[in-house]
Amino acid sequence: MTRLGTAIRLLICVLAFGVLVGPHLLSLRFGRGRIAAHAPTYFHRVFLALFSVKVTQSGTPPALGEPALVLSNHISWLDILVLGSLRPLSFVAKSEISGWPVVGTLARLQRTVFIDRARRAATASVNATVANRLTDGDLIVLFAEGTTGDGTRLLPFRSSLVGAARAAIDAEGGTRDRVRLQPLAITYPRRNGLPLIRSERPGVAWYGDMELAPHLALFLKEGPIDVHVVWGDPIAFEAGTDRKRATAMAETSVRRAMQKSVTGRGEDGLVNRPVADPEPETLTSADIAA
Mean pLDDT estimate for the chain: 85
- 262 has a pLDDT exceeding 90: no
Q: Is 262 left (phi over 0), alpha (psi -120 to 50) or beta?
A: alpha
Number of domains the chain is built from: 1
Quickly state the pLDDT bin for 223 (edges 50, 70, 90). confident
Domain of 103 in residue numbering reads as: 3-289
Phi and psi (nearest 5°) for 211? -75, 140
Q: Is 199 helix (H, G, I), strand (E, B) or coil?
A: helix
Nearest in space to 127 (alpha carbons), one of 187, 168, 178: 168
pLDDT at 123 over 70: yes
Compute the distance between CA of residue 49 and CA of residue 203 in angstroms, rounded to an integer.
Answer: 18
For residue 107, give the 3-state DSSP assignment.
Answer: helix
Q: Which residues of 252-271 are buried (b: 16+ CB within 10 A; e: fewer)?
A: ebbbbbbbbbbeeeeeeeee
Give 51's pLDDT tier (boundaries 50, 70, 90): very high
Judge whether residue 279 has pLDDT over 90. Answer: no
What letters, b where the CB count within 10 A reaches 16 and e where it falls short, cover 12-45?
eeeebbeebeeebeebbeeeeeebbbbbbbbbbb
The mean per-residue pLDDT over the stretch 42-54 comes to 95
Q: Report residue 181: phi and psi, to 5°.
A: -90, 125
pLDDT greater than 80 at residue 204: yes
Helix segments in the chain, DSSP class H: 3-29, 34-50, 78-84, 103-109, 122-135, 163-170, 212-221, 243-263
Q: Which pLDDT value is given to residue 277? A: 36
Please report which confidence band the pLDDT of residue 272 belongs to, taking 50, 70 and 90 as the band edges: very low
Residue 265's pLDDT band (cuts 50, 70, 90): low
The residues with which 145 forms a beta bridge, in sequence order, are: none
Can you give the pTM of this predicted structure?
0.85
* pLDDT surpasses 90 at 237: yes
173-203 per-position pLDDT tens digit:
666 788 999 999 999 999 999 998 888 888 8
Can you give the pLDDT at residue 173? 60
> What is the percent of the chain where pLDDT is above 90?
51
Q: Is the pLDDT of residue 78 over 60?
A: yes
217-233 exposure pattern, b = at least 16 Cβ within 10 A, e = fewer: eebbebeebbbbbbbbe
CA separation (Å) from 205 to 80, 116, 138, 139, 214? 12, 24, 28, 24, 12
Are the beta carbons of 92 and 74 closer than 8 angstroms? Answer: no
Instruction: Kindly state the average pLDDT of the residues 51-71.
Output: 92
Mean pLDDT score, 140-163 = 90
End-to-end CA distance of the chain: 27
**Angle value at C-alpha 54, between 52 and 60, nearest 5 degrees:** 160
- Of 172 and 18, the one with more pLDDT: 18
Residue spans of beta strands (DSSP E) within 144-280: 178-191, 194-195, 225-231, 235-238
Most confidently predicted of 8-17, 115-124, 267-276: 8-17
Predicted local distance difference test score (pLDDT) of residue 275: 32
pLDDT computed for residue 171 by the predictor: 77
Q: Which residues face 181 on adjacent strands?
A: 69, 235
Q: Is the pLDDT of residue 172 over 70?
A: no
Is the per-residue pLDDT at 114 higher than 60?
A: yes
Those residues whose C-beta lies under 8 Å from the C-beta of residue 36, and which sit 6 or more positions away, are 24, 27, 28
pLDDT at 68 over 50: yes
pLDDT of residue 273: 38
What CATH number does residue 132 fall under?
A: 3.40.1130
